[in-house]
């Protein structure tokens, strides 16, 4: 278990540090925690990707009547 800063984590995963910090504040990571004023996270935690990739949302504005 190696702890790194959120800035290092963001650089490692190609994300903006502000985006990673907001995700940590909202509880998007399991291992992120705040020590003093700094956020740290385990270096092996994967970046969560919660996008819908199945295509289930296609046509959602048209309703279910079709």
Q: Where are the domains of the chain?
A: 3-42
Please spell the DSSP secondary structure of 9-56, one letter per residue. Answer: HHHHHT--HHHHHHHHHTT--SS-EEETTEEEEETTPPPP-----S-T
Task: Scan for tokens 């702890």, then name that residue.
Answer: 3
Higher pLDDT, 53 or 63: 53
32-49 pLDDT, tens digit per residue, is: 999 999 999 999 999 998
Would the pLDDT of 31 be above 80?
A: yes
How far apart are the C-alpha atoms of 63 and 15, rounded to whole Å? 35
**What CA–CA distance (Å, rounded) separates 30 from 45?**
8
Q: Residue 8: helix, strand or coil by DSSP?
A: helix
How confident is the model at residue 65, as a pLDDT?
55
């Amino acid at each position: 278990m190696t702890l790194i800063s959120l800035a290092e984590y963001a650089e490692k995963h190609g994300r903006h540090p502000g985006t990673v910090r907001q995700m940590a504040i909202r509880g998007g990571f399991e291992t992120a925690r705040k020590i003093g004023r700094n956020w740290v996270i385990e270096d092996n935690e994967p970046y969560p990707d919660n996008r819908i990739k199945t295509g289930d949302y296609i046509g959602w504005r048209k309703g279910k009547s079709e």
